[in-house]
Amino acid sequence: MMEPQTLIRLLDLAGIAVFALSGALMAVRLRQTLITACFFALVTGVGGGSVRDLLIGAPVFWVQDGAIAAVCIAIAFLVWITPERWWQGQLLEWADAVGLAAYAVFGTAKALAWGVPPVPALLMGVITGCVGGTIRDILAGVPSIIVRPEIYVTAAALASGLFLILLWLGTGTATAAVVGASAGFILRGAAIRWSLALPAYRGPRESR
């Protein structure tokens, strides 16, 4: 049986890697330079975790671990040198979905480890999962997914919330992490596959 801390670490690395992939794919699709692709990969991969660490008072994780920046840059280089046909279709969206779910759980787990109460810890998970992709979209000049009705933040909240609930019920950390991340990914995947969206606000009609 995998140790809980090992699984949490793997979720962290998975989130970073696939978010870096989504950032590099965005830069390549915009026909940007290799340097820009590396920059997109880095800020997308570490953006959410950096904001989380600043909010909870922890050392910014990737500054303490040089391998993380190296992984992001390596992924950008891999995307750059491989044929474009390898990265066509909805790969960016699916990579983002994996990162969203895994990173949301990891962000919540790290916040709890730093003494953050459960509700703020849930929000730290959402921030960890969503901010990197938001930064990527802003840099690319495209509408951010969080301002569209498409299910995104909700999937991160489900992953974090289910992880917390299972921990509260006494489920082991590893099981809670796998179930929470899987649920968040399934919800986000369903939204991608069937274009699921939450209802948008419809204010009262103005009288004429």
Those residues whose C-beta lies under 8 Å from the C-beta of residue 184, and which sit 6 or more positions away, are 100, 101, 104, 105, 129, 155, 156, 158, 159, 160, 162
Please answer whether residues 28 and 37 qualify as being in contact, where contact means their C-beta atoms are separated by less than 8 angstroms: yes
H and E: helices and strands count for the chain = 8, 0
The full set of domain ranges for the chain reads 4-194
Q: Tell me, what DSSP letter sits at residue 197?
A: B
Q: What are phi and psi of 197, to 5 degrees?
A: -150, 155
**Site of tokens 């989380």:** 52
**Site of tokens 């990197």:** 132
- What integer pLDDT is reported at residue 164 of this predicted model? 98
Please answer whether residues 43 and 138 qualify as being in contact, where contact means their C-beta atoms are separated by less than 8 angstroms: no
Please answer whether residues 140 and 116 qualify as being in contact, where contact means their C-beta atoms are separated by less than 8 angstroms: no
Q: Any alpha helices (H) in 1-88, and if so which ranges?
A: 4-29, 34-56, 61-64, 66-81
- What integer pLDDT is reported at residue 205 of this predicted model? 65
55 alpha carbon, distance to own chain's centre: 17
- What integer pLDDT is reported at residue 135 of this predicted model? 93
- What integer pLDDT is reported at residue 208 of this predicted model? 52
pLDDT tens string, the chain, 208 residues long: the values are 567 778 777 777 877 888 999 999 999 999 999 999 999 999 999 999 999 999 999 999 999 888 899 999 999 999 999 988 888 888 888 988 988 998 999 999 999 999 999 999 999 999 999 999 999 999 999 888 888 888 999 999 999 999 999 999 999 998 999 999 999 999 999 999 999 988 888 877 655 5
Those residues whose C-beta lies under 8 Å from the C-beta of residue 127, and which sit 6 or more positions away, are 48, 51, 52, 55, 107
- What integer pLDDT is reported at residue 2 of this predicted model? 64
